[in-house]
Amino acid sequence: MGFRTDKGQVQVLLLALLVLLLAVQLLLGYDAQGGSPWGILLAGLLVLGIFCLQLWRYRRVCVECARLKQQLEKAEEHAENLQRDLDRLNAAKGKDAVTDDSRGEVQNLSARITGDTQEELRTSYFRVVAERWELVQGLLFGEEKARGVFAVQASYAYFAEGGMPEPFREGETLTGQVVKENQPLYLSDIPAGYRIIASGLGRAHPSYIFMVPYQGAAGRCVVELAFFKPLELADREAIVSLLGVLSEKERGLTNTGRAE
């Protein structure tokens, strides 16, 4: 970055040049009149001293300007750091607010997951997800330990000419991979040949699939939820939280006979 002189520096430099020009003119005129060489030398030294003084002033001004410029750059950098910290703080507050809203919504929705049987609980779960996030199709696979497979135990708006999907083993198909890794999977790029959603309006492939494993009352389970609209991260977290509520209420049926 080049050094930029201000108005004061230019004035000092011009003054020094003016003094030097006047001194040269004075020396030339004085010599033409036959003045003493010592007088000329003394005048020259005087002019040189004045010039050096102005040059020294000019250098001091330059140093001071450089120092002030450095301080200004540090102040600007400090202000940028403060702004970044403020932005992070505001973002964190916004995230906390969203989290609090999501928790409140989950609490309200969880109260609507009720039933006297496991089937009723699962049906109410699908209904809550459908009403809140426009679920278009849902499947719940439960583990059959004797056969070592996962088979459909509950469904929502599932219509297919070939009937329910075939059972699968852990690690088989995408749903089987979700069971094996025990981690949710959100798909926005649906594989070719995936299950077709059939309704009174026609047949179509889902745009988004959300698969979530959970622990049921009798073993491991996984839900497969199909949507036409995308799910934000907060939406997916809420759906997982509601699935945790379903899991607790399923296991609570054994002790109370009813989940509230």
Contact status, residue 94 vs residue 113, Cβ threshold 8 Å: no
- Give CA–CA dist 85/68, Å, rounded: 26
pTM above 0.75? no
Q: What is the CA radius of gyration of the chain?
A: 41
- Give CA–CA dist 28/113, Å, rounded: 107
> Tens of pLDDT along 88-127?
776 655 454 445 556 778 889 999 999 999 999 999 999 9
> Tens of pLDDT along 30-81?
544 555 555 555 566 666 666 777 777 778 888 888 888 888 888 888 888 7
Q: How confident is the model at residue 170 (pLDDT cuts 50, 70, 90)?
A: very high
The per-residue pLDDT for 104 is 77
On the question of pLDDT at 260 being above 70, the answer is no
Q: Where are the domains of the chain?
A: 7-100, 111-256
> Tens of pLDDT along 131-159?
999 999 999 999 999 999 999 999 998 88
Q: Residue 219: CB partners within 8 Å, gap ≥ 6?
A: 142, 143, 144, 145
Q: What is the DSSP letter of 115?
A: B
Report how far apart, in Å, the C-alpha atoms of 79 and of each of 69, 73, 85, 180 are: 15, 10, 10, 50
Contact status, residue 122 vs residue 140, Cβ threshold 8 Å: yes
Measured CA angle at 173 (ends 171, 178), to 5 deg: 55
- CATH topology classification for 111-256: Beta-Lactamase (3.30.450)
